[in-house]
Amino acid sequence: MSKETNSAEVLLNQNVTPEQFDWESFESGLNAEDRKEKNELEEIYKGSLNDLEDNDVLVGKVVRLTDKEAIVDINFKSEGVISLNEFRYNQGLKVGDEVEVMVDRREDKSGQLQLSHKKARTLRAWDKVNEYHESGEIVNGFVKSRTKGGMIVDVFGIEAFLPGSQIDVKPIKDYDQFVGKTMEFKIVKINHEFKNVVVSHKALIEADIEGQKKEIIAQLEKGQVLEGTVKNITSYGVFIDLGGVDGLIHITDLSWSRVNHPSEILEDGQTVKVVILDFDDEKTRIQLGMKQLEAHPWDALDANLKVGDRVKGKVVVLADYGAFVEIAPGVEGLIHVSEMSWSTHLRSAGDFVKIGDEVEAEVLTIDREDRKISLGIKQLTQDPWANIQEKYPVESQHKGTVRNFTNFGVFVELEEGIDGLIYISDLSWTKKIKHPSEFCSVGDVLDVVVLELDLDNRRISLGHKQLQQNPWDKFEVKYVEGSVHTGKAVDVFDKGANVQFEDPEVEAFAPARLLEKEDGSKIKKGEEAEFKVIEFNKEFKRVVVSHTGIFREEERKNVKETKTSSSNNEEKATLGDIDALAELKRKMEEGK
């Protein structure tokens, strides 16, 4: 039967006109009173929907828990649903608990109201984070995990970053020890644009330390002995934590003995006693000492130790100029390199000893007031100069090693500690030597003869050429002035020529003006000719010769003879004239 047929039957049965028929009741199936109640509920529902804003945080009550969800009543037309994953931080969630929520979706596909506890908690958390940041109050946070450069901390449901440098005042090597712990933090930075929060635990520690530091600093006095903990070890010293205040023990104040590195004495975390040596006006830089708590080693040094005594010790420092030897804990003596060997050739101390060597030495000087000791090693052996006159008398011959040169001679070592000097003029009878290196080399072994001993100054004069006869003794006779010899011009230059005679040791000089030959030309290089010795100097090995002087001497002789003959003839003529005049005079007188 159709709906229109039913409507007609209703109209007939009720005896009402179509205008009087209640079509709304007929359509809805509700009478007027029921429809009124329905309308009122719809208005309430619409109003409640309008009141629910996406960013509003509401308080709801947990009315039921399932395996995966929490059903929450927020006084809405229907209850909301929240995943239990959002309550992982709260494992004790139960029916009846009030929780903060936000509307996630008003209705899902099944018409269910979807709520979010996480969003509500996050929104509330940001309000709290900003509030605590401004006030500087301490917050509790749960360290969730480790991340690059630090830790992730849950603060009011927000993941904040805890830098590694902000965990503690001292460096942390093991971050994992903090994971899963609840700690106190201070919110130090918020980036609203990127929603980043940075927290610090170190700031709380520093605040406590600062308070303790002021109390400690106020009580500090020079000479005060304190107990501290090794905080940091460097190459130059050790930083000590005095309970909030740091002090430095310089490496030289760790021990009376020499220390190469502070780690030889102390280690991280070690508890030590220290004495305050000094501090600045604000007491922020505190100088500490450890060795000062012990008696000075010099005070314990044997009072009977004196010059000439022998001591043993270990080489602790090595330098070119010498070695420091520790002869007792904290007591060092210097062995200068000049006291390591009788040799006069000073070398580096490293040529004789090395660090760690155990050596025996003789005390040369001791100054207890200035706490200085000088030692010597060479004194343990006999001084080679003690019997020098017996070993190296004048005119004795020996072999020596060339050690070094000077411009004026060669130093030759006869034995360790004994050197002699050969002057350049005593190297060769014949060679013209400008520098000793032209004659020999360092390391060469030379035959020498002792020429002179100077015991006071420890000097020996040696000679090499004296081992042979001086060839200039015979040259002095052979090349006497006026003698003529055949020679070759081996070199010709502007001022003259060098002339080589049959003896290779003798090379003469002929001035340029005396190289002229009889025909007017001059002697050339490589040309042989007769030369006359016009000067011979044995001391300076100088021979001067002349070629021109040979034929000019002949000319002078001829001229002289001619002059003598003419003179005789003139004399005879003069006498004859005198006789003739006398005769003439006699005759004239007789005629009268």
Report yes or no: 404 and 374 within 8 Å, Cβ to Cβ. no
Residues 6+ away with beta carbon under 8 Å from 326: 257, 258, 313, 314, 316, 332
Looking at the domain assignment, is residue 448 inside a domain? yes
- Measured between alpha carbons, how far is 573 from 553 in angstroms, rounded to an integer? 31
How many C-beta atoms surround the C-beta of residue 349 within 10 A?
24
Number of domains into which the chain is organized: 5
Looking at the domain assignment, is residue 312 inside a domain? yes
| pLDDT, position 5 | 47
- Measured between alpha carbons, how far is 528 from 588 in angstroms, rounded to an integer? 72
- Measured between alpha carbons, how far is 577 from 581 in angstroms, rounded to an integer? 6
- Tell me what percent of the chain is helix, strand and coil, each rounded to the nearest 5: 30, 35, 35
| pLDDT, position 108 | 59
Last residue of a domain, one of 351, 380, 409: 380
| pLDDT, position 559 | 44
Same domain, 267 and 305: no
The label of the residue with tokens 């006699």 reads 586
Last residue of a domain, one of 180, 205, 230: 205
According to DSSP, the residues that pair with 399 across neighbouring strands are 447
Same domain, 359 and 314: yes
Question: How is residue 385 written in tokens?
Answer: 């100069």
Distance of CA 409 to the CA centre of its chain: 42
- Measured between alpha carbons, how far is 341 from 344 in angstroms, rounded to an integer? 8
Tens of each residue's pLDDT in the chain, 592 residues: 444 445 445 444 555 555 555 555 555 555 666 566 546 544 544 444 445 555 677 888 999 989 888 898 888 777 888 888 888 777 788 999 988 888 877 665 666 788 888 888 777 878 888 888 888 899 999 999 999 889 999 888 788 999 988 988 778 888 889 999 999 999 999 887 777 899 999 888 877 777 777 777 777 888 899 999 999 999 999 999 887 788 999 999 998 888 889 999 999 999 999 999 988 877 678 899 999 888 888 887 888 889 999 999 999 888 888 999 999 888 899 999 988 888 766 678 888 899 989 999 999 999 988 889 999 998 888 888 888 888 899 999 999 999 889 999 999 999 888 889 999 988 988 778 889 999 999 999 999 999 999 888 888 999 998 888 888 888 888 889 989 999 999 999 999 999 999 888 888 999 999 999 888 889 999 999 999 999 998 878 889 999 998 887 665 555 444 444 444 444 444 444 455 555 555 655 555 4
Looking at the domain assignment, is residue 287 inside a domain? yes
Looking at the domain assignment, is residue 582 inside a domain? no
Task: Show the DSSP H helices in 82-181 as ranges.
Answer: 117-135
Same domain, 396 and 367: no
Please return the burial class of 20, using the count of CB atoms within 10 Å of its CB with bins 0-12, 13-18 and 19+.
Answer: exposed
Looking at the domain assignment, is residue 259 inside a domain? yes
Last residue of a domain, one of 228, 263, 293: 293
Looking at the domain assignment, is residue 322 inside a domain? yes
Structural domain boundaries, residue 12: 1-45
Looking at the domain assignment, is residue 486 inside a domain? no
- Measured between alpha carbons, how far is 581 from 37 in angstroms, rounded to an integer? 208
Q: Give buried/exposed letters for 128-151 (b at 16+ CB in 10 A, else e).
A: bbeebbeeeeebebebeeeeeebb
Same domain, 442 and 426: yes
Same domain, 283 and 301: no
- Measured between alpha carbons, how far is 336 from 324 in angstroms, rounded to an integer? 9
Question: How many angstroms separate the Cα of 383 from the Cα of each of 339, 347, 352, 513?
Answer: 12, 19, 18, 62
Sign of CA dihedral 30, 32, 37, 40: positive
Sign of CA dihedral 460, 463, 466, 468: positive
Residue 291 three-state SS = helix
Looking at the domain assignment, is residue 140 inside a domain? yes
- Measured between alpha carbons, how far is 163 from 50 in angstroms, rounded to an integer? 45
Sign of CA dihedral 566, 571, 576, 578: positive
CATH of the domain at 229: 2.40.50.140
Same domain, 250 and 189: no
Residues 6+ away with beta carbon under 8 Å from 576: none
| pLDDT, position 51 | 53
